[in-house]
Amino acid sequence: MKVKRYVAKNMQEAIAKVKSDMGGNAVILHTRNFKEGGIFGFFQKSYVEVTAAAETRKDNISDRSGLRDISSMVNKFKLNDRENSKTVPQNKKAEAVDQGLSNELNEMKHMMVEMSSKLENATTSAQFPKLGQPLYTCLINQGVEDVLAKKIVRSTLQEANIQPQVSETQLKNIFMSNILKPLKNCKPISFSKRPRKPRIFVFVGPTGVGKTTTISKLAGMYAIMKKKRVAFVTIDTYRIAAVEQLKTIGDIMNVPVGVVYSYDQLEGCLKEYADCDLIFIDTAGRSHKNSEQIDELKDLFNYTKPDETFLVLSSTHNYRDLLDIIDTYKDIKVTRLIFTKLDETSFYGPIYNVACHSKIPLSYFTNGQNIPDDLEIADSVRLAQLLMKE
């Protein structure tokens, strides 16, 4: 099967090209009209794009590389049936014919799937001119949403066409600029001139995303590097290891750790740390599929009234799961997003999709277990570079 894309000034010219190249038996698979060239959208020329397919000589000869005539297969099995009827019992003869037909149909199914894949690739590759296709492929391979990827590439090509000749470096810069456009400003922890004292930050998220480790990294950044007075409070008493981890880190950093077993103990615990600049509250991991556990968290906010609520997410989650998690926590008024485990994935499109579509700004990335080193502000340029494999 030969699949090819043709571009012409009009449909008559396109069909003539198809017939000249593929013959009269060619089949038109897809057509579209588009415009190219011009300046700032003016003086563009109209073109017609046609994707056509035709059987090659090899397809006509080889049974395994093209579609087969079903009636010929049935006749073949009938012939085999008559030849075998002299020596094979009736039931075994029918079974053999059924098995043979089943095998042939399975082979044909695989060939149809293969041809469908080829047509899909041909259609995808025809979406953009040669200059834009590698850009589109780069984003799609990273898991960027198709609608976003197309918009970015189209904007990039429009800006590139304005310039008489675009170098590879210039194209990359235009591409990065368009990747950055949908992203909101990242918002890490900041201090106003007259901050509420102490400032209270609550960390929520699914199990296993690394909330406790992330809190430890933030505490290290502010307690050791920025000389702020920091306190830990944990209500994650379901995991003894989480409590012990915070106590150990607290001893190393000279940071007090409060353990709360019920929400009504929070008020007294927070009063103990009234002279601190920052209080980080660690919560137990909650499954986004368990609505009762999520509802329990609402009581926490009635007692604490935090300045910020950080939803901690793993970059190893797929985009659909990330959307489900964010939707589950929507009633808790999350104000910041933290993505962990960037060192455990090579696909950053889901993070980008969330950053573009969510109304919640990014705050931090974590990329390892080292405290506090493996923590960085979620810079938009850094995310764009990850998408571009730079």
Instruction: Look at residues 113, 93, 175 and name the one whose alpha carbon lies nearest to residue 139.
Output: 175
Write down the pLDDT at residue 151: 92
Write down the pLDDT at residue 168: 81
Please state which architecture CATH assigns to domain 199-387.
3-Layer(aba) Sandwich (3.40)
What angle (nearest 5°) sits at the alpha carbon of residue 51, between those of residues 50 and 55?
135
Q: pLDDT, tens digit, for every residue of 209-252?
A: 888 889 989 988 888 888 889 998 888 666 667 678 778 888 88
Domain boundaries, the chain: 1-54, 64-126, 130-174, 199-387
Q: What gap in Å lies between CA 283 and CA 299, rounded to an integer? A: 12
H or E stretch including 248? helix 240-253
Q: pLDDT, tens digit, for every residue of 36-79?
A: 654 434 446 778 888 888 876 554 444 443 334 444 443 443 44
CB 331 within 8 Å of CB 306: no
Q: pLDDT, tens digit, for every residue of 237-293?
A: 666 676 787 788 888 888 898 888 877 788 888 889 988 999 999 887 766 566 666
Is the pLDDT assigned to residue 112 strictly greater than 80? Answer: no
Q: Measured between alpha carbons, how far apart are the two ends of the chain, in Å?
A: 38
The whole-number average pLDDT for the span 356-361 is 88
User: Sheet of 45-54: strands edge to edge?
Assistant: 2-8, 45-54, 27-36
Dihedral sign for Cα atoms in the order 147, 153, 157, 158:
positive
Q: pLDDT, tens digit, for every residue of 135-169?
A: 888 899 999 999 999 999 988 888 887 776 777 88
Write down the pLDDT at residue 310: 94
The whole-number average pLDDT for the span 157-185 is 84
Write down the pLDDT at residue 262: 79
Q: What gap in Å lies between CA 327 and CA 31, rounded to an integer? A: 39
Is the pLDDT assigned to residue 100 strictly greater than 90? Answer: no
Instruction: Give a three-class secondary structure readout of 204-236.
Output: ECCCCCCHHHHHHHHHHHHHHHCCCCEEEEECC
Cut 0.75: pTM above it: no
